[in-house]
Structure 1
Amino acid sequence: MTATPPQPDSPSMPHARSGPFRVAAALRDTVALMTLPLVAALVLPAAFAGGGTRRWFGGRGESQRAEAQAAKDAAAAAFYELDTAQRDLRISIETIAAVDDSPAARRAATDFEALGRRIDEASHHYIDAVDAHDLDRDDLEASAAVRARTELTKAKDELGRVKKDLDRFAEGLGPLLGKAETQLARLAPAVERARQSLLAASNALDTARGSGLRADDLAARLAALAPELTRLNQGAGQHGVPQTLERAERVAREAETIRAEAERLPERAAEIDHRLVSLRTRAQALTTRAGQVEPVLSELRRRFAVACWQDLQPVPRQAAEAVRQAELKLTEARAARDAQRWPDATALLSTVRALLNSTDEAVSAAGDRLQRLNAVQKDPQQEIERTRFAIRDAQRLAMAGRNTPDPRHARPLDDSVGRLERAIATLDGRHPDYWHFLTETEAVRRAVARVVSQIREERGGATGQ
């Protein structure tokens, strides 16, 4: 607007508003107040004056002067109300623009500018009407007073119409303004949380270092957050509210991660020390067990066919090599731990564990093989009956509720019967291949189990439907 009368919401006269303008008071210190143009200083004293030092004439002329003066006062009040509403709404628009860059927010700013042009136009009409008529003139004619009243009333009505449009526009800003206020309300706590998280991470790092742990990687990660803290301190006015919120939340998350790792560092060091000792002990035990594989292989070679033990021949050599590799990795892990390269130490210990696990399985396989071959050599019938029971149980399930089995189920079960009979036939002869017999019966049971699972899934699905 082009003119602004003295405002009751100046720093010496505080007040609060509600509705779309409630953010005005909170952000008053961020928005520059409009200064009074010279024309307002010239117009408004006359607008609010109760009259000057003039001679009073009775009759109709004085009545017309009074009506014109009342119209002037009413127009001045309308001008004041519109100016106040516009300034408060400008603060709301600037609040939304600072937080929201959506198309709706940009459209609101454009619409407010259009309303501003209408307000300027109505204000000029009001000021022109005030300037055109001196109601304090002693020789003011009744006709001039009537014209003044008419023009001032028209200016007041125009100001009132624009004020109504401004009020409707302000009501429509409710959702955008509410969203902006919510983000502004989150801003200060989010920035404070980020600062506190950084402080907590720094303190945890100092504690870890006090216990003799360097934590160089954590210190580097914390130092990388220093520029982010600088930007947070510079404020949302420079970097924008959404960007500052996102930065504060990210800094808080990263600082919290650093704090947690720093606090866990002594425990992590102790855990690595324990694993180093445990895995070294296990490697030594495996060295002893690997030395027992050769006697087992000797007995297998003496009592069973070549096919029963030939695949186990490389186990002693492979076990010795695996243990040697594990011990080398343990040495490297110890060096990494002493250098406090925790990720490297952890990775090396995982490699050692995998090597020892595979070696343990290979060493155990020789003893397990001898045990199973001894059992089947002594009583192969037990393995046969176990497999036949699995086949018969599957056949009963396939026939349940049916006169004839489903070919999809019957065929693999019939094949399993034939495969078992062929496996049993291999036991005849001077040197039976017991290992082949055991692997065949296991394969038959797996095939039967697949058929059983298929039948149950199909019948379960039919029941569900």
Structure 2
Amino acid sequence: MTATPSQPYSPFVPCAQPAQPVRAVRAAQPTRPAQPAPGVSRAARDVLTLLALPLLAALALPAAFAGGGTRRWFGGRSESQRAEAQAAKDAAAAAFYELDTAQRDLRISIETITAVDDSPAARRVVSDFEALGRRIDEASQKYITAVDAHDLDRVELEASVAARARTELTAAKDELGRVKQDLDRFERGLAPLLGKAETQLARLAPAVERARQALLAASNALDAVRQSGLKADDLAARLAALGPELTRLNQGAGQHGVPETLERAERVSREAGAVRAEAERLPERAAETDHRLVSLRTRAQALTTRSGQVEPVLSELRRRFSAACWQDLQQVPEQTAENVRQAELKLKEAQAARDAQRWPDATSLLSTVRALLNHTDEAVSAAGDRLRRLNAVQKDPQQEIDRTRFAIRDAQRLAMSGRNTPDPRHARPLDHSVGRLDRAIATLEGRHPDYWHFLTETEAVRQTVARVVSQIREERGGPA
């Protein structure tokens, strides 16, 4: 059916239209007068008819009273059939317009869906709507043909002609009604797709506006940072890269599609928001970088001082304990000096990056310096800690022995709790730990005890016992 001029304008690309027959203007009229004779206008014929009626009546009246001739009586059944046919014509016209209105409304819904959704389901909807359009055209053509075939305003309308007109117009109305029912069912089936499309359309304008506002806020934040003396060239480049995206947003969904425009608006909002956040944090980041440079430089100087204490510690370890107790620390002084040298070099590079306001480079270099100093600190501390622990165990090894045996006995009691015999999975590692402790104690005998081996063995025994305890508690549902 052809859309009327009052059809609402849709900003989207319309779906494919089915072939549409041309409607006769007379289909929009409930009745129409009889066709004028060739060469005589309708108005002239009406005048002639009015002038001829008195004359015909005068000629017919004597013959009627004389009882001669044949007379034709118009009225009665003919007029009743004419009225019924006219009623059928009016009902068919109402069905025609109702179907036409429903089709126009549904076409707007189809255009809404196709503007948003390019899925197979949406393409199937377009195909089904085209098929319905062809059925609507066929039903409409049947109605127009029935209207054109019968002039219900003709004066000498036979009852049989009126009855036939009523039958054809009623059939046309029924067919229009059936197609309208199919159209209504089709429209109800569109509800999920139409709801989704309308939701996306409702999100479109706010999303685009948010993207514009996010870009404006990022630009303002960048201007404020530059006024404070910071360059922020990388942020400016990131913001400039969003310029073409704003152009596409301004071109609208009609050119780029609703889903693509929504995705673009959300991406622009997200990236512009990130630029704004980094720009606003840039002064704080600069101050933090300056603080870290000073702090790490001070720490490197302190480690240089501490590293000078490693050699005296190693000298004492060599003098009082066997080689096994200190030989793994031999390289600490050289490693410490090298690490401090590398840290100072990286600090200079970080300072240059900060001066050039290359913030990612400065941050990365400072992280490298921190890692180097942490490793150096651990190595320097290890030498002093080794001497302290060896002094303690040399003075009183029994304290370490008692500590380890207590851990083993505590684990054994837990393993036997609520049982007559321990679980072999728990008993075996605990028994092995007892033997391992005894062997470690045996290494203390002799002229040059290996105290460091003793300490590492007792530490390993306690770790094994702790794993068994954790396993038991986990199996029994208690706290680990």
On whether the aligned pair clears a TM of 0.5, the verdict is: yes
The superposition leaves residues 41-95 of structure 1 with CA deviations (integer Å, 9 ceiling, x where unpaired) of 5424654558995769654434433333332222222211111111111111111
Distance 1:82 1:337 in 2: 74
Q: Secondary structure at the match of 2:305?
A: helix
What is the one-letter code of the residue matched to 1:333?
A
Aligned to 1:426: 443
CA contact (8 A) 1:330 1:349 kept: yes
Per mean C-alpha deviation after superposition, the further-off stretch among 275-284 and 309-318 is 309-318
Select the residue among 428, 433, 453 that pairs with 1:436. Answer: 453
Distance 1:29 1:216, change over 3 A: closer
Distance 1:428 1:395 in 2: 28
Residue 298, structure 1, aligned to residue 298, structure 2: no
Residue 43, structure 1, aligned to residue 18, structure 2: no
Aligned to 2:249: 232
Q: Which aligned segments of 4 or more residues in structure 1 are displaced greater than 6 angstroms?
A: none
**What is the Cα deviation at residue 306 of structure 1?**
2.2
Distance 1:444 1:59 in 2: 122
**What is the Cα deviation at residue 31 of structure 1?**
7.8
Q: Secondary structure at the match of 1:245?
A: helix
Distance 1:183 1:398 in 2: 64
Select the residue among 211, 233, 237 that pairs with 1:216. Answer: 233
Distance 1:136 1:409, change over 3 A: closer
Residue 118, structure 1, aligned to residue 135, structure 2: yes
CA contact (8 A) 2:10 2:111 kept: no
The superposition leaves residues 266-297 of structure 1 with CA deviations (integer Å, 9 ceiling, x where unpaired) of 11111111100100000000000001111222
Unmatched 5+ residue regions in structure 1?
Answer: 12-24
Aligned to 1:109: 126
What is the one-letter code of the residue matched to 1:162?
V
Per mean C-alpha deviation after superposition, the further-off stretch among 148-157 and 188-197 is 148-157
**What is the Cα deviation at residue 427 of structure 1?**
2.1
Residue 391, structure 1, aligned to residue 391, structure 2: no
Q: Secondary structure at the match of 2:291?
A: helix
Select the residue among 461, 467, 470 that pairs with 1:450. Answer: 467
Residue 184, structure 1, aligned to residue 184, structure 2: no
Distance 1:31 1:425 in 2: 92
**What is the Cα deviation at residue 387 of structure 1?**
1.4
Q: Secondary structure at the match of 1:181?
A: helix
Aligned to 1:357: 374
Aligned to 2:68: none
Distance 2:77 2:464 in 1: 118
CA contact (8 A) 1:322 1:355 kept: yes
Unmatched 5+ residue regions in structure 2?
Answer: 35-41, 54-73
Select the residue among 79, 98, 101 that pairs with 2:115. Answer: 98
Residue 130, structure 1, aligned to residue 147, structure 2: yes
Aligned to 1:65: 82
What is the one-letter code of the residue matched to 2:173?
K
Aligned to 2:66: none
Select the residue among 293, 306, 309 that pairs with 1:289. Answer: 306
The superposition leaves residues 385-416 of structure 1 with CA deviations (integer Å, 9 ceiling, x where unpaired) of 11121122222222223333333333332332
What is the one-letter code of the residue matched to 2:211?
A
Q: Secondary structure at the match of 1:405?
A: coil
What is the one-letter code of the residue matched to 2:228?
S
Select the residue among 92, 110, 113 that pairs with 1:75. Answer: 92
Per mean C-alpha deviation after superposition, the further-off stretch among 360-369 and 202-211 is 202-211
Distance 1:39 1:417, change over 3 A: closer
Distance 2:181 2:122 in 1: 21
Distance 1:358 1:128 in 2: 97
Per mean C-alpha deviation after superposition, the further-off stretch among 205-214 and 349-358 is 205-214
Distance 2:28 2:406 in 1: 112
Distance 1:390 1:402, change over 3 A: same
CA contact (8 A) 2:26 2:32 kept: no
Per mean C-alpha deviation after superposition, the further-off stretch among 53-62 and 204-213 is 53-62
**What is the Cα deviation at residue 30 of structure 1?**
5.3
Structure label with greater radius of gyration: 2
Per mean C-alpha deviation after superposition, the further-off stretch among 263-272 and 346-355 is 263-272
What is the one-letter code of the residue matched to 1:341?
R
What is the one-letter code of the residue matched to 2:261?
T
Distance 2:355 2:77 in 1: 108
Per mean C-alpha deviation after superposition, the further-off stretch among 94-103 and 84-93 is 94-103
Per mean C-alpha deviation after superposition, the further-off stretch among 185-194 and 443-452 is 443-452
CA contact (8 A) 2:84 2:166 kept: yes
- 1:358-377 alignment, distance < 5 Å: 358-377=375-394
Distance 2:77 2:239 in 1: 85
Q: Secondary structure at the match of 2:476?
A: helix
What is the one-letter code of the residue matched to 1:43?
R
Distance 2:419 2:25 in 1: 108
Per mean C-alpha deviation after superposition, the further-off stretch among 87-96 and 128-137 is 128-137
CA contact (8 A) 1:48 1:76 kept: no
Distance 1:370 1:220 in 2: 56
Aligned to 2:175: 158
The superposition leaves residues 227-260 of structure 1 with CA deviations (integer Å, 9 ceiling, x where unpaired) of 2212211111111111211121122111111111
What is the one-letter code of the residue matched to 1:133?
H
The number of equivalent residue pairs is 442
**What is the Cα deviation at residue 29 of structure 1?**
6.0
Distance 2:136 2:445 in 1: 111
What is the one-letter code of the residue matched to 1:281?
T
Residue 404, structure 1, aligned to residue 421, structure 2: yes
* RMSD between superposed Cα atoms in Å: 2.7
**What is the Cα deviation at residue 38 of structure 1?**
10
Q: Secondary structure at the match of 2:357?
A: coil
Distance 1:31 1:148, change over 3 A: farther
Select the residue among 238, 246, 252 that pairs with 2:263. Answer: 246
Distance 2:409 2:22 in 1: 109
Select the residue among 392, 396, 404 that pairs with 1:379. Answer: 396
Distance 1:378 1:92, change over 3 A: same
The superposition leaves residues 132-185 of structure 1 with CA deviations (integer Å, 9 ceiling, x where unpaired) of 222333343333333222222222222122112212222222222111111111
